[in-house]
Chains A and B, each alone.
Chain A
Amino acid sequence: MDKLTEIRWHGRGGQGAVTSAELTALAAIKEGKFAQAFPSFGPERRGAPVLAFNRISESEHIRVRSAVTQPDIVVVLDPGLLYIVDVTSGLKDGGALIINSSKKLVDIKLEFGGPWQLAVVNATTIALELLKVPIVNTTMLGALLKVSDAIKLDFLLEPIEERFGKLAQRNIEACKRAYEETSVAEPSPTSKKVERAYAKESWPSWQELAPGFVVTEPGNARSYRTGDWRAQCPEWNHDRCIKCGICSLFCPEDCIRPNERGYPEADLYYCKGCGICARECWTQAITMGEEVKE
């Protein structure tokens, strides 16, 4: 049987994971290979964790259509996802984990190293510098090129041009620069994946559903964490805050409340990091800082 490379992309709604997967497939097809790209269809929204998948075969039509559960390569577009989604779930021994992070390779390795190749690139910085937006889809393709020969840069150029038009050149630059700046650590076959607890959803059985699927517990969505969607986190400068409450009124999540001292505070369990509060604050007391997990 032909060699089949399976890739799983982890991103957030609006970040470009699906685009990455699509471009990957197009590049592979251009090269003459057989490839698939597809997202995990769902109602998830901008900021919510999303998945996209690739399968690339050297010379055969690929018939499998189900989600990739045992990837050869995992690409993580948002460093925050590492702590909320089990990105290495099913990752094959000897496979590759590619992460967008500002952290150093050695530091990442402590946390996410395993019997797989580990690649780290500070894609957000590259994207912000070259594209002026924190969308890292093409940048991460550069990192993918560095780790895997499933696709080649030459065949990627055309799809990028088609997709981005005027902005293509800058995207290609981002891709190339990421290729240069990606640092890679070889797999350490003996090392084990660091186990961590990820939130797991448990689903009711059919008998447990009320007739008509009525939800009888009002507002139980409160237990649903949307704070995971956040890429940036609001911070209040108390010297600048007059506790006026405007931030709280404009919060679409309704998650800003005064603390004991009367200063507003976002409930990070829900805050999606949209930045409205910072934008609307009269005294510019709020800034959106980089999200730091754990």
Chain B
Amino acid sequence: MITISIDGQELKAKEGQTILEIARENGIYIPTLCYHENLSPYGACRLCCVEIFKGGRSRIVASCLYPVEEGLEVKTNSPHIINNRKMIMELLLARCSQNEVIKKLASEMGVEQSAFKAKYLENEDCILCGLCVRACEQIVERSAISLVNRGVNREVAPPFLEPSADCIGCGSCAYVCPTGAIKMEDKDGTRVVYARNWEKEFKLKKCKKCGNYWAPEEQLEYIREKLNLPPDFFDVCPNCRESVP
């Protein structure tokens, strides 16, 4: 066990935990946009930056990545940190000038308007936090989408911006997206997963018994092949299946 202090609170932590984890465990709010507890930390949004004090010197680090160490002193709300967070929000607000999530978060941090000239404001939804890409890679293990291009031209997309053969339509990307840049809709037996520049459509399987559409055929086929299940295994939805072997 390690003892650290966050905003003056003495806290216990385990070796290898990050500052952000400890803060969350103890109800200390640190804003983030690219962190998800079930995915590997990425450190891209920099909103979670905190000030640490070690040996009389202070340093600013990304709390989602910084491993705690004995005696570490952390401040999550120093004026320094608040100024930086505000600037990051201003930058994001300039990129996503119409996005409600970003607008709301910015306003929570006291940023109502970006200081940048109106002609430069963009109307993006994606903040390139990479959560979708990580979810697809680490949870779904499909890597159907990735971060393509570099720098200011970066975007999240499937290869060649075409419907990816690797995508099984699980919707993890849409679920994990903090700003609604990726969306998923089920309608009339069809599922669409889409973002500004790409989309993929899936036919949903109809349960033989109850007649409900319940999952994309591609997804079921993927599971079936992966586990070598009989062809009729998914003819009925789990709800209509009565016996458990």
Does A touch B (CB under 8 Å) in the complex?
yes
A residues apposed to B, CB below 8 Å: 239-240, 242, 245, 278-284, 287-288
Q: Which of B227, B234, B238 is within 8 Å of A240, CB to CB? A: B227
B229 within 8 A of A: yes
Sort chain B's interface into a size bin: under 10
Are B223 and A282 in touch, CB under 8 angstroms? yes
Q: Which of B226, B238, B244 is within 8 Å of A287, CB to CB? A: B244
Are B223 and A242 in touch, CB under 8 angstroms? yes
Using CB atoms, name the residue of chain A closest to B239: A280
Q: How far is the CB of A150 from chain B (nearest CB, A)?
A: 41
Are B223 and A284 in touch, CB under 8 angstroms? no
Sample of 11 more A-B contacts, CB < 8 Å, known A239-B227, A242-B223, A281-B238: A240-B227, A242-B226, A242-B227, A245-B139, A282-B238, A283-B223, A283-B229, A284-B244, A284-B245, A287-B244, A287-B245
Q: Which residues of A contact B245 (CB under 8 A)?
A: 284, 287
Using CB atoms, name the residue of chain A closest to B222: A242
Contact with A along B230-245 (1 / 0, CB 8 A): 0000100010000011
Q: How far is the CB of A85 from chain B (nearest CB, A)?
A: 30
Are A283 and B244 in touch, CB under 8 angstroms? no
Are A280 and B238 in touch, CB under 8 angstroms? yes
Using CB atoms, name the residue of chain A closest to B228: A239
**Once bound together, how far apart are the Cα atoms of A282 and B227, in whole Å?**
12
Q: Which residues of B contact A283 (CB under 8 A)?
A: 223, 227, 229
Q: Which residues of B contact A280 (CB under 8 A)?
A: 238
Main secondary structure of the interface of A (DSSP, over half): loop
Q: Which residues of A contact B238 (CB under 8 A)?
A: 280-282
Are B244 and A279 in touch, CB under 8 angstroms? yes
Contact with A along B209-227 (1 / 0, CB 8 A): 0000000000000010011
**Once bound together, how far apart are the Cα atoms of A239 and B245, in whole Å?**
14
**Once bound together, how far apart are the Cα atoms of A62 and B14, in whole Å?**
58
**Once bound together, how far apart are the Cα atoms of A288 and B245, in whole Å?**
10
Q: Which residues of B contact A278 (CB under 8 A)?
A: 244
Q: Which residues of B contact A284 (CB under 8 A)?
A: 244-245
Q: Which residues of B contact A282 (CB under 8 A)?
A: 223, 234, 238
Interface centre among B223, B244, B245 (most CB of A within 10 A): B244
Q: How far is the CB of A261 from chain B (nearest CB, A)?
A: 12
**Once bound together, how far apart are the Cα atoms of A45 and B229, in whole Å?**
39
Q: Which residues of A contact B226 (CB under 8 A)?
A: 242
Using CB atoms, name the residue of chain B closest to A286: B244
Q: Which residues of A contact B139 (CB under 8 A)?
A: 245
Q: How far is the CB of A241 from chain B (nearest CB, A)?
A: 8
Q: How far is the CB of B58 from chain A (nearest CB, A)?
A: 30
Q: Which residues of B contact A240 (CB under 8 A)?
A: 227
**Once bound together, how far apart are the Cα atoms of A278 and B241, in whole Å?**
12
Q: Which residues of B contact A239 (CB under 8 A)?
A: 227
Q: How far is the CB of B141 from chain A (nearest CB, A)?
A: 8
Q: How far is the CB of B50 from chain A (nearest CB, A)?
A: 23
Q: How far is the CB of A52 from chain B (nearest CB, A)?
A: 32
**Once bound together, how far apart are the Cα atoms of A239 and B226, in whole Å?**
9
Q: Which residues of A contact B234 (CB under 8 A)?
A: 282
Q: Which residues of B contact A287 (CB under 8 A)?
A: 244-245
Q: How far is the CB of A237 from chain B (nearest CB, A)?
A: 10
Q: How far is the CB of A291 from chain B (nearest CB, A)?
A: 17
**Once bound together, how far apart are the Cα atoms of A16 and B226, in whole Å?**
44
